Amino acid sequence: MDATTLPWSWYSDPDIYRREQERIFRTAWQYAGHVGQVPEAGSYFACRAGEIPVIVVRGREGALRGFLNVCRHRGSVLVDGEGRRATIQCPYHAWTYDLDGSLRTAPRSEREPGFDASGLGLVPVAVDTWGPLLFVNPDPDPGPLADTLGELPELVASTGVDLDVLEHRVRTDFELEANWKIAAENFLECYHCQVAHPGLAGFLDVSAEAYRLETAERYSSQYGPVRANGQAPYDTSGEIKRGQFHFLWPNLKLNIEPGPPNFSVGPLIPDGPERTVGFFDYFFAPGTSDEWIREFLAFDDEVGVEDRALVERVQRGVRSGVLGGGRLMSESERLICHFDGLVRVALSI
């Protein structure tokens, strides 16, 4: 197992960033949102697959469809946010598309000799679901989402979490002044938890002996049991007895925390060589009290603030160019070795 880091220049090099967009994010299944955002015909929401703008729509017959969120006229982004509408109209020149992506009207097209609307529909994007989770893939001929997920759905179900039963309650957004890979690598180890996350380490056993790491082809997993007599910042009593944290290639974080059934999921979206944006969707069992959710989210936000400081410090260090790379701890940071290997293969460098 390669115990060296990726070259530190890869965390700020615009050329590496461009290759990642072409070779990773244009061909990968990526979390877009949840099906509750498109509950009825005409419902839509805008999202991103890497830097590619995407719109997800529920058609009149109920089918979910994805399209590049780009007008075929001059390239304007068509919609922002989410909502419901009978057609998709560009705000620039009012080219209007049906919910199946076909071009319905283009003002003054009747004045254009040979104008063929049939070849100017929205470009489709693959859409698939895992329970309430909705994924998109810009690749025109992608493999099935199930091949990427592998046994991950079974692992999540084995904890007692039924995604089809949980209710979406909250979405939070975040921004990081750090490369997306630094944010991913931070998530992929708890070697730092004892030092940097005292609240988490106070109730979750993050010792090398107790904290378990596993890898599969396209995902990796971490498991942490609750400490006996630990001091938790929220009530951890409930059906879920240990923390379970998964990472799905290329950029998706999935968390199940001790307590009543809960699940959070969120992508790390590259927003330039040294910036990452993203969001987390939180799902909870029906009947979970608002007070418990508030305490849980306050704890989760505390960990997020701590992690933001860590990854932005790393970005400042690797950006300096003083050193070419670092040395990983091949046991405690085994999941980083796995992730970095996938990056190397994808970039063919």
pLDDT digits (tens, 9 = 90+) for 190-215: 999 999 999 999 999 999 999 999 99
Two tokens at 82?
């989410």
pLDDT exceeds cutoff 90 at 228: no
Residue 11 lies in a domain: no
Q: Are strands 212-215 and 219-225 parallel, antiparallel or unpaired?
A: antiparallel
Domains held by the chain: number? 2
**Residue 85 tokens, joined:** 């509408």
Contact 282, 264 (CB under 8 A): yes
Q: Same structural domain for residues 202 and 105?
A: no
CATH number at 122 reads: 2.102.10.10
Q: How far is CA 126 from CA 78, 85, 234, 270, in A?
A: 18, 21, 39, 20
**Contact by Cβ (8 Å): 243, 303:** no
The model's pLDDT over 237-259, given as tens digits with 9 standing for 90+, comes to 999 999 999 999 999 999 999 99
Specify the CATH number for the domain of residue 182.
Answer: 3.90.380.10
Whether residue 65 lies inside any domain: the answer is yes
Both 74 and 112 in a single domain?
yes
Tell me the one-letter amino acid at 125: V
Domain assignment of residue 310, given as a range = 146-347
State the pLDDT confidence band at 2, using cuts at 50, 70 and 90.
confident
CA distances from 56 to 31, 86, 113, 197 (A): 12, 14, 33, 37
| 17 domain-assigned | no
Give dist(CA 220, CA 150) in Å, integer.
Answer: 11
306-318 residue pLDDT tens: 999 999 999 999 9
The mean predicted confidence, pLDDT, of the chain is 96
CB atoms near residue 80 (< 10 Å): 12
Q: How far apart are CA 38 and CA 44, in angstroms?
A: 6
337 located within any domain:
yes
Inform me whether the pLDDT recorded for 169 exceeds 80: yes
Q: What is the 3-state secondary structure (H, E, C) of 245-285?
A: EEEECCCEEEEECCECCEEEEEEEEECCCCCEEEEEEEEEC
User: Which residue, of 114, 141, 168, is where some domain finishes?
Assistant: 141
Residue ending a domain, among 141, 172, 205, is: 141
Q: Is residue 10 part of a domain?
A: no
Q: Does 117 share its domain with 155?
A: no
Q: Which of these three, 123, 141, 159, is where a domain ends?
A: 141
Would the pLDDT of 288 be above 90? yes
Residues 110-133 have a mean pLDDT of 97
What is the pLDDT, as a whole number, of residue 256?
98
Q: What is the pTM of this model?
A: 0.96
Q: In what order do the strands lie in the sheet with 96-97?
A: 88-89, 96-97, 103-105
Q: Is the domain of 159 the same as that of 260?
A: yes
% of the chain surpassing 90 pLDDT: 96
Residues 306, 159 within the same domain:
yes
Residue 98 DSSP one-character state:
-
Average pLDDT over residues 60-83: 97
7 inside domain: no
Question: Parallel, antiparallel, or unpaired: how do β-strands 242-248 and 219-225 relate?
Answer: antiparallel
- Cβ–Cβ under 8 Å, residues 97 and 88: yes
- Together in a domain, 231 and 319: yes
Asked whether the beta carbons of 189 and 332 are under 8 A apart, the reply is yes
- Residues 328 and 192 reside in one and the same domain: yes
Most distant CA pair in the chain: distance in Å? Answer: 78
Same domain, 164 and 261: yes
- Residues 6 or more apart in contact with residue 68 via CB below 8 angstroms: 52, 53, 54, 55, 122, 123, 125, 138
- On whether both 278 and 307 belong to a single domain, the answer is yes
Distance CA(87)–CA(121), nearest Å, equals 13
8 falls within a domain: no
Rounded to 5°, angle at Cα 94 from 92 and 97: 120
Number of helical H runs and strand E runs in the chain:
8, 17
In this structure, the answer to whether residues 168 and 116 fall within a common structural domain is no
The single-letter code of the amino acid at 100 is D
Mean of pLDDT values over 271-289: 97
Same domain assignment for residues 255 and 321 = yes
SS3 46: strand
Q: Is residue 235 part of a domain?
A: yes
173 and 232 fall within a common domain: yes
Residues 325, 6: contact at Cβ < 8 Å?
Answer: yes
Reduced DSSP (H G I as helix, E B as strand, rest coil) percent helix, strand, coil of the chain, to 5? 30, 30, 40
Q: Which two tokens stand for residue 19?
A: 């290759």
